[in-house]
Amino acid sequence: MYSFSGMYELWGLFIMNFTDRYRYRCRHLKLVPFHLLSQLDLTRFWDRVLRRAGLPIVFSQGFNPRPLLSFGPATVTGVISWTEYLDMTFYEFIEPEQLKNILNSQVLEEMRVVEVNSIPLDFPSIMKSLISVQYAFIFKDEGNIGNHQVLFSIEDIEELERKKMEKQECMISFLFKKKNILLNPYKSLEFMPKESGFNRENLVEIIKQNYYWF
Partner 1 sequence: MVEKIPDQENFFKNELLKITKPARYIGEEWNILVKNPSQTTCSVVLGFPDIYEIGMSHLGLKILYQILNDLPGVRAERAFVPWPDLGKLMKEKSIPLFSLENKIPIRSFDIVGLSLQTEMNFTNILYFLDLSQIPFRSSEREDDFPIIIGGGASTCNPEPISDFFDAFLIGEGEEAFVEIIQIVSAMKGQRKGDILSELAKVVGVYIPSFYQVGYSKNGIVSKIQTMNKRAFPQIQRRWLKDLDNALYPEAIPVPYISIVHDRIPLEISRGCTRGCRFCQAGMIYRPHRERSPENIVHLAEKLVASTGYEEISLLSLSSTDHSRIEEIISNLSRRFEAKNVNISLPSIRMDTFSVQIAQNLKRVRKSGLTFAPEAGTDRLRRIINKGLTDQEIFSTLEKVFEGGWDDVKLYFMFGLPDEKESDLIGISQLVNEGLQIGKKIRGKRVSIHLNLSAFVPKPHTPFQWIGQNSLEEFEEKIQRIKAGFSRDRRLIRMNWSDFKESTLEAVLSRGDRRLSRVIEKAYHLGQIMDGWREFFSFERWKLAFEEVGLDYHFYSERWRDPKEILPWDHISSGVKKEYLLKELEKSRRQEVTPRCIHFQECMSCGVCSS
Q: Which residues bind partner 1 (CB under 8 A)?
A: 6, 9-10, 12-13, 32-38, 40-41, 44-45, 47-54, 59, 63-66, 77-78, 106, 108, 110, 168-172, 183-184, 210, 212
Q: How far is the CB of 32 from partner 1 (least distance, A)?
A: 5
- Would you say 129 or 188 has its CB closer to partner 1? 188
Q: How far is the CB of 13 from partner 1 (least distance, A)?
A: 7
Q: How far is the CB of 65 from partner 1 (least distance, A)?
A: 5
- Would you say 48 or 195 has its CB closer to partner 1? 48
Q: How far is the CB of 25 from partner 1 (least distance, A)?
A: 21
- Would you say 59 or 191 has its CB closer to partner 1? 59
How would DSSP label each residue in the chain? -----THHHHHHHH-GGGS--EEEEEEEEE-TTGGG--HHHHHHHHHHHHHHTT--BPBPPSSS--B-EEE-SPPPTT-EEEEEEEEEEESS---HHHHHHHHHTTS-GGG-EEEEEEE-TTSPPHHHH--EEEEE--BTTT--GGG------HHHHHHHHHHHHH--S-HHHHHSSS-SSBS--EEEEEE-TTTT---HHHHHHHHHHH-TT-
Q: How far is the CB of 45 from partner 1 (least distance, A)?
A: 6
- Would you say 56 or 72 has its CB closer to partner 1? 56
- Would you say 130 or 183 has its CB closer to partner 1? 183
